[in-house]
């Protein structure tokens, strides 16, 4: 594994480059490449490496990036770190794809996208915008930010109930909006934590997931990012995706409504496959059931020469 950098809109993004471990998918044009990024407010060292290594084992190069302002990547000029913005995240995916395509060891016609949670929605939006993407894997994806915020179609876990959380978060968002206008340091809110901690994602699954986070992860985000979630609606772009797409669904997802992923599959049509698992959102990061093997087999099949 090698650390590499590439430019995105005037800032430097940092990523891991994981070489294909076998040449089963390699041709004279090079090997296919899977471009991966992390979920909402996390970093590339938050549970992604086992996926990257598994994809490399079937013959794919893998590029695992940090968005601008997260992990090892620079923040955009004049912007704070830890600022979740789906528009910039998608731009960084496009920049990462351009970097991969320019490499001599990559077959530019066989670039796949992989995403999980928030980035699981990004990969659908990016593939809709770039018809040359060869394949997509989307895991436990937030396909409709409005549904995420309202809870429509989301599995409700009594263990995560916190009636006061919405009020706390809204107060922080309002305060941070003022700070953004006046260019002062942002108001930060915790990302993961126990119920009642004030964390945006709380409950047993969120706490257990912190065990998978690496040293570059900061358990905080700019409150202003919450206000953007409702505008992040990849489901609306799904009908423009033409490449083979594997949608990995957590049937008891308490973060991202699983029904919206099924709607995305319907809109994509015959190119979409659904792999559904009897689990909650964060369990997917541990490769529940045959999930990891199925994702690797899907990529090996659709990216074969």
Cα–Cα distance for residue pair 196/49, rounded to 1 Å: 31
Separation in Å, CA 136 to CA 81, 117, 214: 28, 14, 25
Separation in Å, CA 61 to CA 25, 147, 168: 10, 34, 43
Cα–Cα distance for residue pair 203/190, rounded to 1 Å: 13
Phi/psi at 142 (nearest 5 deg)? -85, 90
The secondary structure element, H or E, covering residue 248 is strand 245-250
Structure tokens at 38: 């992390």
Cα–Cα distance for residue pair 258/279, rounded to 1 Å: 11
What are 246's strand-pairing partners?
137, 273
- HSE-up of residue 6 (Cα within 13 Å, Cβ side): 23
| pLDDT of amino acid 215 | 97
Cα–Cα distance for residue pair 273/298, rounded to 1 Å: 10
Cα–Cα distance for residue pair 22/45, rounded to 1 Å: 24
Question: Which residue bears the tokens 């070489």?
Answer: 19
Listed by start position, the domains of the chain span 2-156+231-302
What are 272's strand-pairing partners?
245
CB of 85 closer than 8 Å to CB of 107: no
| pLDDT of amino acid 196 | 83
Topology of the domain covering 2-156+231-302: Rossmann fold (3.40.50)
| pLDDT of amino acid 153 | 63
Cα–Cα distance for residue pair 215/71, rounded to 1 Å: 9
Per-residue pLDDT of 50-108, as tens digits, reads: 999 999 999 999 999 999 999 999 999 999 999 999 999 999 999 999 999 999 999 99
Mean per-residue pLDDT pooled into runs of 10, the chain (305 residues) = 97 98 98 98 97 98 98 96 98 98 98 98 98 98 91 65 79 91 92 89 91 96 96 97 98 94 98 97 94 98 97
| pLDDT of amino acid 287 | 87
Which residues are CB-neighbours of 139 under 8 A, at least 6 positions away? Answer: 114, 115, 116, 117, 120, 248, 284, 291, 295
What are the DSSP calls for 63-129, one per residue? EEEPPTTSTTSPPPTT--SS---HHHHHHHHHHHHHHHHTSTTEEEEEEEEEEETHHHHHHHHHHHH
pTM for the full predicted model: 0.95
| pLDDT of amino acid 241 | 98
Sign of CA dihedral 176, 180, 184, 188: positive
| pLDDT of amino acid 163 | 72
| pLDDT of amino acid 166 | 80
């Amino acid at each position: 594994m090698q650390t590499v950098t590439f430019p995105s809109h005037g800032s430097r993004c940092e990523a891991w480059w994981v070489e294909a471990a076998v040449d089963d998918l390699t041709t004279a044009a090079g090997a296919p490449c899977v471009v991966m990024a992390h979920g909402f407010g996390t970093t590339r060292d938050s549970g992604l490496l086992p996926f990257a290594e598994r994809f490399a084992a079937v013959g794919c190069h893998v590029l695992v990036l940090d968005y601008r302002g997260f992990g090892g990547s620079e923040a955009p000029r004049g912007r704070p770190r830890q600022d979740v913005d789906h528009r910039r995240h998608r731009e960084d995916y496009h920049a990462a794809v351009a970097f991969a395509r320019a490499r001599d060891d990559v077959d530019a016609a066989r670039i796949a996208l992989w995403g999980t949670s928030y980035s699981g929605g990004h990969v659908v939006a990016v593939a809709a915008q770039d018809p040359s993407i060869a394949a997509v894997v989307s895991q436990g994806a937030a396909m409709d930010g409005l549904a995420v915020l309202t809870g429509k179609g989301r599995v409700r876990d009594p263990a995560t109930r916190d009636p006061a959380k919405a009020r706390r978060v809204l107060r922080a968002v309002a305060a941070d909006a003022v700070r953004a206008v006046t260019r002062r340091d942002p108001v930060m809110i915790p990302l993961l934590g126990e119920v009642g901690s004030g964390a945006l994602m709380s409950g047993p699954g969120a706490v257990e997931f912190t065990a998978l986070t690496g040293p570059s992860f900061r358990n905080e985000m700019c409150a202003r990012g919450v206000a953007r979630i409702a505008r992040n609606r990849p489901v609306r772009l799904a009908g423009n995706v033409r490449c083979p797409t594997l949608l990995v669904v957590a049937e008891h997802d308490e973060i991202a409504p699983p029904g919206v992923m099924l709607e995305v599959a319907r809109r994509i049509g015959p190119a979409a496959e659904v792999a559904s698992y009897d689990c909650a959102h964060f369990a997917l990061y541990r490769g529940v059931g045959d999930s990891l093997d199925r994702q690797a087999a899907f990529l090996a099949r659709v990216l074969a020469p």
